[in-house]
Structure 1
Amino acid sequence: MVLTLFLVIILFLTVMQAAIPYLLKKTIVFGVTIPEGHTDDRTLATYKKTYSATIFLIGIAGLLAYLIWGLGNQLQENQIVFTGLILQFGILLISMGLYLYFHIKTMKRKREHKWGETLKRVRVADLTSRSNDEMLPNLMFALPMVITLGLIGYSATQYGAMPEMIPTHWGPNGQPDAFTKKNPFSIIASLLILLIIQGMMLAINASTKKSGVKLNAARRSTSRFQQLSFRKYTSWLLFLTSISMTVLFGFLQLTTIHGDLGGPILMMVMPLGFLFIILLATAVYAFKVGQGGSRVQLEMDEEPIDGVTDYDDDDYWKAGVFYVNKNDPSIFVEKRFGVGWTLNFGNPIGYFIILGPLIIILAISFLL
């Protein structure tokens, strides 16, 4: 079971990493802004193919080696887990190294050919599109928090019926494998962590709703539709994750209170079901929507406006990955390599939204 679980995760990671260059806007290549008219450059296309093929072949080779090693030896569970984690980190490190290599080559090619220097650079931020924004209201993200608060209250009333040793970790088979002594804090610790994560998701949704809708200067109508689709489906994916985590954590809490609630099969199916839902939803989102809605197709293609290009803000993107702009009020901005949002490291509020909850979660885990 553990081997199968890691094989699925490694395969998912390999496919997603290999596909990234083709999930992005055509005007962003390895974290570099590419003006209209140069997005079909053959050398850039070769960079993308080389990156994707290399990651895919390395990932599949590692996957097969891991499978053969796992089936051909009598291994303990911790050996399979440790090796699986090392393989995942290895794939990520190789992909990061390749990304930086092609980022540098793309920057060099852009400078050498002076792409965009003869075009008028325009920054288009459409404030009127917010009235058509279909991102979920923040109240929707507060609903799972209400459920969690209810579970905390119920757990307090069932304190006497709970076991003396409270589970703090569950293995791949769904069975608890780490415990702590019962006390008023330990019986609700996992729910407190869930509540913090839900609050963080609420803050992320609220912050992204306030982010400006940045349009492609040469294809404004197309990019407006794609941007709105991207924001809507990102919000739904975030909400699905919040709901799924609430169901999983709530189920585990109820099985702690009522030991006969879930049998061995259900205890195994719930975590696996959660993983399957999240991986499937993420894959559908990435391949159907793409970064900035780039894979959302319109019925009619818009002809680009000649002589203009997007404002080049490459200077604010460190290595094309980290966005640092103190003059931009946005807390979250679209990623340049990957699908979703990333922090504006020039806005200190973002640190509180992300790092604050993580510090609290680590503190709770340390106190158990």
Structure 2
Amino acid sequence: MAITIPIAVMVVLIIMQTILPYIVKRTVVFGVSIPDSYVKDKKLQSYKKLYSLLVFFLSVIGLVFYLIWAINSNLAEDTQALTGIGITFAIILLSMSLYFYFHAKTLQRKKEQKWMVDVKPVKITDLNVRLQDEMLPWYVFLLPVIITLGLVVYTALQYPNLPEQIPMHWGPDGQPDSFSNKTPLSAILMLLILFVMQMMFLGIVEATKRSGIKINATNPTASKVRQLTLRKYSSWLMFIISFLITGLFSYLQLTTIHPGFVHDSFKMLIPIIFLAIVLIGTITFAVKVGNADKNNEFPSVVGVSDIDEDEEYWKGGLFYFNKNDPSIFVEKRFGVGWTINFAHPMGYLIIFGPILLILVITFFV
């Protein structure tokens, strides 16, 4: 059972990495902006196909070897799970290595073919597009927070009945395997961590909502549809994940207060169900957003292109540095979702501030 979660994560990761070149913005190939008239260049199409084939077959080989090894080994479940995590990171490293290779090839072809010479760089702004924005309002994310605060109060009322050893970590079998002495802080530690994570989700969504909606010059309609779809469904995905994490942490807290709250035979199923919903939701989100701008009915504008930001603002097609852009988060160039504007200090605070706070909280337990 310990290998179930790593295998599930690997399968979803392989699927996502394989289809990645085909669900990014249609005018971006391996992190390089491409004029609309060259999007279907045969060489670029071959790069996408080769990337997907290499990622798929090499990753599947690694997955099969891991599965055979795990089934036939007599090692502890923790060791099998850690090995699975290692192979997962190896798949990510493989896909990133191939990405940088094809990023360089794509950038080289763009320069050699002089695709930007005959087009006019244009920046499009639509002041009415925000009226169509359907992102969830910030106060919706307070619902999980209310549940957490309610659990804090309930834990305080039940404090005399808590065991002298408070679970701090749970193993692959769903059973606690690390404990801390009972104190007021250790009793609500999980809930404090949960609260910080909820605030991080709220901060990310609110910062994303305030970020600019960038419209593609060559196909304004398609880019508006994609941006609005990305914003809407990313807010929903963040809310669902926040709610699921709240449910998982609430379950762990209640099993601490009431050890017989869930039968032992179901304890392993809880995290698997949680993970399954998150992975399915992530795939659905990626496919939904990835196909948003692929409608052939969207009209294209000939002779223009977006302002080329490949080398000035996008480092390696992955890292965005633009101090003149007030947006904290911008759409990824390779992948589906958002990335930080690394020139904006607030982005670091929203992402790394909660992580640092969680480390400080756990240090005092």
Same fold (TM > 0.5): yes
1:304 aligns with 2:300: yes
For 2:109 and 2:244, the matched residues in 1 are separated by: 45
Name whichever of 109-118 and 238-247 sits farther off.
109-118
After TM superposition, where is structure 1 displaced by more than 3 Å over at least 4 residues in a row?
294-298
Structure 1 counterpart of 2:233, one-letter code: Y
1:343 aligns with 2:340: yes
CA displacement 1:64-97 (0-9 Å, x = unmatched): 1011111122221122012111111111111111
Correspondence list, 1:105-144, <5 A: 105-144=105-144
SS in 2 for 1:135: coil
Corresponding residue for 1:354?
Answer: 351
Structure 2 counterpart of 1:28, one-letter code: V
Unpaired segments of 5 or more residues in structure 2?
A: none
Structure 2 counterpart of 1:110, one-letter code: K
For 2:251 and 2:77, the matched residues in 1 are separated by: 25
Indicate conservation of the 8 Å contact 2:172/2:268, yes or no.
yes
Name whichever of 71-80 and 350-359 sits farther off.
71-80
- Deviation of residue 288 (structure 1)? 2.2
Unpaired segments of 5 or more residues in structure 1?
A: none
CA displacement 1:279-331 (0-9 Å, x = unmatched): 000011111222xxx44565x70221111111211120111111000000000
Correspondence list, 1:93-112, <5 A: 93-112=93-112
Name whichever of 343-352 and 110-119 sits farther off.
110-119
SS in 1 for 2:168: strand
- Deviation of residue 224 (structure 1)? 1.5
Normalising to structure 1: TM-score of the pair?
A: 0.96
Corresponding residue for 1:192?
Answer: 192
For 1:188 and 1:125, the matched residues in 2 are separated by: 48
Correspondence list, 1:1-368, <5 A: 1-290=1-290, 294-295=291-292, 298=295, 301-314=297-310, 315-368=312-365
For 2:133 and 2:299, the matched residues in 1 are separated by: 24
Indicate conservation of the 8 Å contact 1:125/1:212, yes or no.
no
Name the % identity. Answer: 49
SS in 2 for 1:125: coil
Indicate conservation of the 8 Å contact 1:229/1:296, yes or no.
no
For 1:128 and 1:295, the matched residues in 2 are separated by: 20
Structure 1 counterpart of 2:317, one-letter code: G
For 2:267 and 2:298, the matched residues in 1 are separated by: 51
CA displacement 1:144-203 (0-9 Å, x = unmatched): 112111111211111101100101111222111111111010011111111011000001
SS in 2 for 1:226: helix
For 1:36 and 1:202, the matched residues in 2 are separated by: 36
For 1:347 and 1:312, the matched residues in 2 are separated by: 20
For 1:296 and 1:278, the matched residues in 2 are separated by: 24
- Deviation of residue 261 (structure 1)? 1.1
For 2:82 and 2:243, the matched residues in 1 are separated by: 30
SS in 2 for 1:124: coil
For 1:74 and 1:200, the matched residues in 2 are separated by: 41
For 1:222 and 1:98, the matched residues in 2 are separated by: 28
Structure 1 counterpart of 2:130, one-letter code: R
RMSD: 1.3
For 2:72 and 2:261, the matched residues in 1 are separated by: 37
